[in-house]
Amino acid sequence: MTAPHWLSATEIAQAYAAKTLSPVELVNTLLARIEVLDPKLNAFIRLDAQAALQAAHQAESEISAGRSRGPLHGVPIGIKDIIDVVGLPTTAHSKILVDNIARADAVVIQKLRAAGAIILGKLSTHEFAIGGPSFDLPFPPARNPWNRDHHPGGSSSGSGAGLASGMFPLALGTDTGGSVRNPASACGIVGLKPTYGLVSRRGVFPLSFTLDHVGPMTRTVADNALLLDVIAGHDPADPGSAASSSRGFGALLGRGVRDLRIGFVRHFHERDMPAHPEVAAALEDVARVLQAEGAQVHTVTLPALTEFSGINRVILCSEAWSIHQKWLRERPGDYGKLARRRLLPGAFMTAGDYVGAQRRRGELIAAVEDLFRDYDILLCASSMDPSSRMDDAAETARTYPRQARSPFNVTGHPALAMMSGLSHAGLPMSVQFVGRYFDDATVLRVAAAYEKATGWHKKRPPIG
């Protein structure tokens, strides 16, 4: 039998129905595992064990009475600490907000509770979702379960580390330049940045109003679709929310990829930003697997990766400065070094820089949209390298920007990162699948076919 801490959300629901597992048993098992592993991995900022156990007892009594609140009834989840959970601090991993108690649940938390999910607590992040693996903050940085000496990606770092180590089956992250997909890449899990506007951001501390997304993070593609089904939906009080009727994100998971047209953006990792040879070889293997499964894979071209990255940086820094300028002027020393360094360039962006970036953004969106006239899915790199050592600041600074995730924050298309293999050093490598607007279901369909054909999701890190 699969150990309870490695069960997927789908398997947990089945075990509850078969009465081979109860919510209280599962939560106690996870709390015991967290007690052992979290001092080594620092996935949690705030573990809310008492509230989780109370929720588990309530879920168990409802199951006994034949009632269910929804598809996540009794399923535990971890929450990135820029998302409000009523009564708990939303610190953004920063001294600036260390005493900031949430007065209400974020919309995504409301949806999770309505579906029956159990909130385990708040998870580590890079400071304000923009810093990096930092040791000058109120809480230690999360570590990679595949090798504790390496970082787990970010900024949704605790979400990635906790999922990969079996502390919880589901997590929420946020993604402004790749912060769901980076930990998915570094930790060997599944992270989806949904279509922009598909998931409400109300109650989430902003980094960049026109780039921010909330996304599901899981160990399996089916769980990712399940979690997206719960958190998606129009929110008229979020100015970026889309009035989309998209639902049933798992409906296509079993259909395979036969006859799908896939555009492989090779120049991102071959010419624009040459990837580590093992990462490049793994991407070629992904293309071969999908072809063997019946997909048509062709090389395609987009504007240079550096163009997308530059536009992302101008927009992000400009919008982030508008949020942080008061604190940066009055309390600069209360920021960690990395976050302060990454936020300050916004002070020097002009209105012309911002407007020019937004105009070029429209042209980049048009270039991607043009490809989707002929292709169902785009295939490209996520990270260009496996994660670096935590104690090697220079190597982390060099490799962290070496990624192809930010283009799809600029354009808003749905993009998923997942494991494509293990390096010779035993660290996860990754691939990214990108889809048409509000066609997140096809992105998940391709990811499910790749997952089934390779079985990388069954690999476990050598911890605990």
pLDDT in tens, 41-68: 999 999 999 999 999 999 999 999 999 9
- Which residues belong to the active site? 80, 155, 179
Comparing CA positions, the residue from 172, 121, 136, 129 lying closest to residue 153 is: 129
Q: Rounded to the nearest 10 degrees, what angle do helices 440-454 and 221-231 cross at?
A: 160
Strand-by-strand arrangement of the 428-435 sheet: 44-47, 118-123, 76-80, 170-175, 213-218, 190-193, 415-422, 428-435, 377-380, 261-264, 296-299
- The encoded tokens of residue 128 equal 């304000």
Contact 148, 32 (CB under 8 A): no
Q: Report the top-level CATH class of 4-458.
A: alpha beta
| Amino acid symbol at 375 | Y
CA distance 380 to 304: 13
| Amino acid symbol at 303 | P
CA distance 374 to 97: 47
The average confidence (pLDDT) of the chain is 97
CA distance 223 to 343: 34
Sign of torsion over alpha carbons 154, 155, 156, 161: positive
Confidence of residue 111 (pLDDT cuts 50, 70, 90): very high
Comparing CA positions, the residue from 9, 10, 56 lying closest to residue 31 is: 56
- The encoded tokens of residue 148 equal 């504790």
- The encoded tokens of residue 204 equal 């989430």
pLDDT attached to residue 387: 98
Sign of torsion over alpha carbons 436, 440, 441, 444: positive
| Cβ-based neighbour number of residue 32 at 10 Å | 11
What is the gyration radius of the CA atoms in the chain, in angstroms? 20
Contact 242, 199 (CB under 8 A): no
Q: Is the pLDDT of residue 1 over 90?
A: no
| Amino acid symbol at 84 | D
CA distance 281 to 184: 19
pLDDT attached to residue 422: 98
In the chain, % of residues over pLDDT 70 = 100
Instruction: Give the tens place of pLDDT for each residue, 421-437.
Output: 999 999 999 999 999 99
- β-strand pairing of 118-123 with 44-47: antiparallel
Tell me, rounded to whole angstroms, the distance of Cα 124 from its chain centroid: 13
Instruction: Give the tens place of pLDDT for each residue, 249-266.
Output: 999 999 999 999 999 999
CA distance 390 to 395: 9
Strand ranges, E, within 133-203: 170-175, 190-193
Bridge partners, residue 416, by sequence:
192, 433
pLDDT attached to residue 171: 99
Q: List all residues 6 or more positions away from 268 whose beta carbon is below 8 Å from its beta carbon.
A: 302, 305, 380, 381, 404
Confidence of residue 269 (pLDDT cuts 50, 70, 90): very high
pLDDT attached to residue 464: 66
CA distance 59 to 41: 29
Q: Rounded to the nearest 10 degrees, what angle do helices 23-41 and 49-64 cross at?
A: 160
Q: Where are the alpha helices (DSSP H) in 272-392?
A: 277-292, 305-330, 337-343, 351-371
Instruction: Give the tens place of pLDDT for each residue, 114-166.
Output: 999 999 999 999 999 998 999 999 999 999 999 999 999 999 999 999 999 99
Comparing CA positions, the residue from 171, 178, 172, 127 lying closest to residue 153 is: 178
Residues 187, 457, 277: CA angle, nearest 5 degrees: 60
Q: List all residues 6 or more positions away from 144 whose beta carbon is below 8 Å from its beta carbon.
A: 150, 151, 152, 153, 161, 164, 186, 187, 387, 427, 461
